[in-house]
Chains A and B, each alone.
Chain A
């Protein structure tokens, strides 16, 4: 096995670097991939795009040997892919830089590069001198200005990523898959990464590039493949596809014309229910100002690292801003979640399993957790009152539960989310913040959950919906789009899906 990769890969074979043909993958009743195909030509820089759930990550897992496809073939440079257990074989065929770092911070860079394949002396003992010099040679050959002896934990995000790229390519692979490589980089880091990717390509490395930012694809890729709803939609040279055509391919022809219905606003005059002033948190969002009237529904959306969730979490007290203020009805909120609850903010957190409920506790206890102090005196909870409230919530939100004591962990996803919504509403909030309110929820529950929004706005509650799902944004009076930490666009109700998606993906939309 090659201890040090040659920076210049072996001779060209003329075969495509990667062929994945007729790939189907099912998980139970859902089809993650349906007869899709993806062919990356040798030396090509190929983009794979699609909205969430289009099947991109499943395909990456299949072509990197982490999962087997139910049907279809995968070939690298004309050779059939190795078996799942042959990790070395996969490493020689394809290199992957995952979204999440696979660097071990407590070890040195050199050791990370040669993990489990350190050059050894005759006795089986590791030759550290050779490991270090091989590592340095590898780093130098890719022009990575990192010292092989540095602890990997001290590297910047950008350096860590370059080390991962070098490690991935050192296995001898000539095809590299980059899964959202720019998600954690700032714009200068992205520019340097792109320069490096172009260098790699010039040296004959083929690339499969997965990104949510369409703009990036135009910068580094020659070919693009679009997936939608687990199917292959189109593969074409990037130059021959305008941005609007690309968005059409991602969203589907039928939806292009969709103009969401205009709605009558229930917003009331007077002091804003919620006002954010120049809210800034380094690395997350920058100078965000926004005001929501009582009864108004505002949507906040954006790409994966746009900062929309960070803003919402700051409003509800889960995060703290570096500067700027959050006011509810003209009064600044204090620090932390208890202060936010006191100020009259109710919220559905981004991940219900993580922050939304305690699975082993019952519906009633979960739904009243935020208002336990109001349910009795001296810290004791009046269980009868609590269960009464829970029964009302169960019927209001149509929760399918056997009663107030059923553990929330045993409910379906949609009903769990209703309980979380119940908790958010328990303190009769003036401001309701919903993060991904319908994620992983069935259609009926979706209706109920979004129906809540219509109820509360009539009562004068201000609602902020943070979501990537366009359907979640239908009930909004206006939708704000964040891009790289700033609010970049605002759409009044009646927005067109295409314009919104273009704004989310950071494309200056060319009107066709």
Chain B
């Protein structure tokens, strides 16, 4: 028997319905997700064009590398957040982890006297293991509360955001840690093959993220969990374990971002990472990641964060006074959301 209906075409009006011929018409079809993925590229192209008119310096290698370096830390948060969001959860506490992870490490390493350390004065090579350990621990606590005890993810991570920020304030007495050990500053300052190490790290982690989310079963499981958790369970996916691991990964990425930031600034401020989470969500949503889970790609999110930082860079070069940058930033985020809503035709919820 045959079915009388034609196969539903995937595009939005770009393809004409055709007779089904189930197995034969396997030509190149642009899948919806791929189209959505590329949606921001024209916008990025436009910004590059506008930027080159605003200031010839904009398109120089120095400036573009500079943009990439400025966004490298926050983009790691975006990467982590996107994994969590695709699985249908969210993690607000990432921005506090940025400060706390390196903060705890240097607190345990620096001497009491001049640098208000804790006094333990651990050897300098402990800096990174401690910072990453703190990241893992925070993710594990988030997972414990959200996965094990089934608390609301929004409230849990909001609570963690405040608690962790408060903890950093407490141990640093509200001040900034200086005189970091060299193991802490290395990643944020080193140059590998002519590019800052943080750029390499951020780009390569995004590359891994893109491949993992596209080609790995666990990556696909995150989409399934975010799309329909019950269906994922019925398919034998270990939902709880995977969500828990995702939360840990996101916190670990936030800790890495903190280390890069600490290295670049050669200090850890009590307010380190403060307010980042809004930019992170904005970048993710502009990049097509759904707050309801199950939709979006790592590549899209990367485009989202890149777009935001390029726009900021152009504004700075255009001589927009610093006091107005935030206003313009917010307007651009809103504008970008409206444009992507119109372009994709999908509700963002």
Which positions in A face B, CB cutoff 8 Å? Answer: 87-88, 91, 102-108, 111, 115-118, 120, 124-126, 128, 136, 139-140, 143-147, 149-151, 154-156, 158-159, 192, 195-196, 199
A-B contact pairs, 7 of them (CB 8 A): A104-B294, A115-B220, A116-B217, A126-B214, A136-B22, A154-B9, A158-B5
Please determine whether A145 and B294 come into contact, CB atoms closer than 8 angstroms: no
Contacts of B9 in A (CB 8 A): 154
Quick check: is B215 within 8 A (CB to CB) of the other chain?
A: yes
Q: CB distance B215 to A102 under 8 Å?
A: no
- A124–B22 touching, CB < 8 Å: no
Other A-B pairs, 8, CB within 8 Å; known A88-B236, A105-B228, A116-B232: A107-B223, A107-B224, A111-B223, A115-B231, A116-B237, A120-B217, A154-B10, A158-B3
B234: chain A residues at CB < 8 Å are 87, 102
Q: How far is the CB of A153 from chain B (nearest CB, A)?
A: 9
Name the contact of B230 in the complex, choosing from A102, A105, A124, A128 (C-beta under 8 A): A102
Contact A192 to B3, CB < 8 A, known contacts A115-B232, A136-B26, A145-B20 = yes
Q: Is the CB of B23 within 8 A of A140?
A: yes
Say yes or no for B31: interface residue by CB 8 A criterion: yes
Q: Are B231 and A103 in contact (CB under 8 A)?
A: yes
The distance in angstroms between the C-alpha atoms of A507 and B216, with both chains bound, is 51
**Out of B1, B33, B215, B237, which one reaches A195, CB within 8 Å?**
B1
Partner of B22, one of A107, A118, A140, A195: A140
Pairwise interchain contact A146-B217, C-beta atoms closer than 8 A: no
Q: Is the CB of B1 within 8 A of A143?
A: yes
Flag whether B264 is at the interface (Cβ < 8 A).
no
Number of interface residues of B (CB under 8 A): 38
CB neighbours of A117 from chain B (8 A): 235-236
B195 within 8 A of A: no
B31 neighbours in A (Cβ, 8 Å): 108, 149, 151
CA gap between A143 and B20 in the complex, in Å: 12
Q: Is the CB of B7 within 8 A of A156?
A: no
Q: Does B113 contact A (CB under 8 A)?
A: no
Bound-state Cα–Cα, A115 to B232, Å: 8
Contact flag A139-B22 (CB < 8 Å), given A128-B215, A154-B10: yes
Complex interface: chain B residues within 8 A of A124 (CB): 216-217
From A86, which residue of chain B is reached at the shortest CB distance? B236
Q: In the complex, how many angstroms separate the beta carbon of A101 from the nearest chain B beta carbon?
A: 8
A220 to chain B, nearest CB (A): 15
Alpha-carbon gap, A91 to B216, bound state (A): 22
Please state if B228 and A150 are interface contacts (CB–CB under 8 Å).
no
Q: How far is the CA of A192 from the CA of B1 in the complex (A)?
A: 9
Docked complex Cα distance between A156 and B221 (Å): 24
Contact status A155-B227, CB under 8 Å: no
Residues of B within 8 A of A91 (CB): 236
- A117 to B294, alpha carbons, bound, how many Å? 18
- A49 CB, min distance to chain B CBs, angstroms: 25
B32 on the interface (CB 8 Å rule)? Answer: yes
Known: A107-B227, A199-B1. A116 touches B236 (CB 8 A): yes
Q: When the two chains form the complex, which single residue of B2, B8, B26 contacts A154, counting CB atoms closer than 8 Å?
A: B8
Using known A-B contacts A125-B215, A199-B1, determine if residue A147 contacts B25 with beta carbons closer than 8 Å.
Answer: yes
Contact, CB under 8 Å: A146 / B7: yes
| Residue in chain B with minimal CB distance to A154 | B8
Docked pose: A159 CA to B232 CA in angstroms: 20
B165 within 8 A of A: no
